[in-house]
Amino acid sequence: MSGKKIVVAVLLAGVLLASMLAQMGCGQKESGSKEPIKIGVVLSESGANEPLGKPERNAIKLFVKRLNEAGGIDGHEVEVIIKDDQSDANKAKQAMVELLEQDNPVAVIGSSGTGTTIAMKQEAEKAGIPQVCMAAGANIMDGDITWIFRTPPTATEAGRKALSYIAEVLKVKRVALLYDTNPFGSDGKAVVEREAPEYGLEVVVSEGYQTEESEEGMDTHLTNAMTANPEVVLVWGTNPGPAKIVKRMRDKGIKLPYVGSHGIANQAFIELAGEAANGVVFPAGKMLIYQKIMEPGSEEYEFIKDFADAYFEEYGENINTFAGHGWDAILIITEALKRAGVGATPEELRDAIESTKGLVGTAGVFNYSPTDHNGLTPDDLTMVEIVNGKWEPAKE
């Protein structure tokens, strides 16, 4: 009997203590800090775009953690509500509706992919709330761009950078374009064909391929392209297609220069293409080789170094482009909030984002305007060459 009594007594004491602690917790929150600022985040933590969504989420969480430790914005904590859209446009739309109904955020970030971003865009427009996306698809900016902004460089910036390299550094004219028929490659194809004449270049052949095709399949595209007597091969796609093409090209003894897209600005390309990767040149954000092209002490260098160090310390991983896009997205919103003031309406916050000028981020220097919600220029990119399996600045 006495044993049972002791158990009951301990339980009661436990409940009492817990409720007291809970009350103390509540009290502290009410007296200590001001109302938190809520920012909704929808990204692809799972599904096809998981390799993008995970580092983006990590970067956003870390940014907010550091911001709050430093006192938040005017003493208000920033709270991010993160939802996973599973790389599915319908789920992105649903997550957006939930965010708007339940959390009433001041702005939203998202999503990782183009399809999910467009699904969110429709909801953001209806609700009248600023959206900063991390996807690069050209069609995101089709139609109304009032509420949508983005952080990554698009095919336009990358394409113009690559074309100017071909015209001014390689000094050749006849371009053979091989592009992936997926949305990434088709965006690139449209830009290259549209912009080439401006750089005095001629696209003598443009061949679409599928990234799943075998090396032999790629060989046929190369054979077709070579018939047009090009002086340079420009390949616009994501892994593994460009690796198959460059390997086949070198196997066949084709010695023409190979220029790629920012879709191969990753270690995977070097692993897949092996030896053949050497000599490949592609446009990429300066962050990829910032230690080799930026002056220590400059604002851009220190900004990226701070991000890279903090990210490594928190997650034990090196930064990548996608982590950078997440970092830039939350940076742009919080900087605009600082300028517009904490109580800003969505309209005022939108105007503040649009008036962002000279803001140093990981992908470059952001300048938005009423007609340009992309924010970057070709100058924010740099040409990278693969030398002995390592990234080096390409000659200019």
Partner 1 sequence: MDFLGNCPQYIANGLANGCIYILVAMGFNIVFNSTGIINFAQGEFCMFGGLLAYTLAASLGLPLPLAIPLALASTAIIGAAMERLLVYPLRRAGALVAIIATIGASIFFKSLGRVLWPKEAYKVPEFTAGNISLPGATVSRQFLWVFGLTILSVTAVYLFFNHTKAGKAMRACSVNRFAASLVGINVMRMSLYSFVLAAALGGLAGLINAPYASYSMGLFLGVKGFTSAVVGGLGNTFGAVTGGIVLGLLEELIPGFLTVVLGVSTGYKDAVAAILLIAVLLLRPQGILGRGVVEKV
Q: Which residues bind partner 1 (CB under 8 A)?
A: 50-51, 179, 181, 205-210, 212-217, 219-221, 223-224, 227, 238-240, 243-244, 247, 251-253, 268, 271-272, 274
Comparison of 161 and 248: residue with beta carbon closer to partner 1: 248
Shortest distance, CB of residue 225 to partner 1, whole angstroms?
Answer: 8
Comparison of 220 and 377: residue with beta carbon closer to partner 1: 220
Shortest distance, CB of residue 206 to partner 1, whole angstroms?
Answer: 6
Decide: 368 and 355 in contact? Cβ < 8 Å: yes
Question: What residues contact residue 51 under an 8 Å CB cut-off, 6+ apart?
Answer: 322
Parallel, antiparallel or unpaired: strands 258-259 and 131-133: unpaired
* Cα 151 to Cα 336: distance, rounded to the nearest angstrom: 14
In angstroms, the Cα distances linking 160 to 49, 73, 168, 358 are 26, 38, 12, 21
Comparison of 274 and 341: residue with beta carbon closer to partner 1: 274
Which residue has 């992309």 as its token pair? 374
* Cα 124 to Cα 140: distance, rounded to the nearest angstrom: 13
* Cα 225 to Cα 205: distance, rounded to the nearest angstrom: 6
Comparison of 198 and 251: residue with beta carbon closer to partner 1: 251
Name beta bridge partners: 80. 39
Comparison of 213 and 372: residue with beta carbon closer to partner 1: 213
Shortest distance, CB of residue 246 to partner 1, whole angstroms?
Answer: 13
Query: Of 273, 281, 259, 265, whose CA–CA distance to 179 is shortest?
Result: 259
Shortest distance, CB of residue 50 to partner 1, whole angstroms?
Answer: 7
| 3-state SS assignment for residue 300 | helix
Comparison of 221 and 373: residue with beta carbon closer to partner 1: 221
Shortest distance, CB of residue 278 to partner 1, whole angstroms?
Answer: 16
**Token digits for 114?**
């183009």
Shortest distance, CB of residue 166 to partner 1, whole angstroms?
Answer: 20
Shortest distance, CB of residue 377 to partner 1, whole angstroms?
Answer: 29
| 3-state SS assignment for residue 197 | helix
Comparison of 272 and 331: residue with beta carbon closer to partner 1: 272
* Cα 136 to Cα 52: distance, rounded to the nearest angstrom: 12
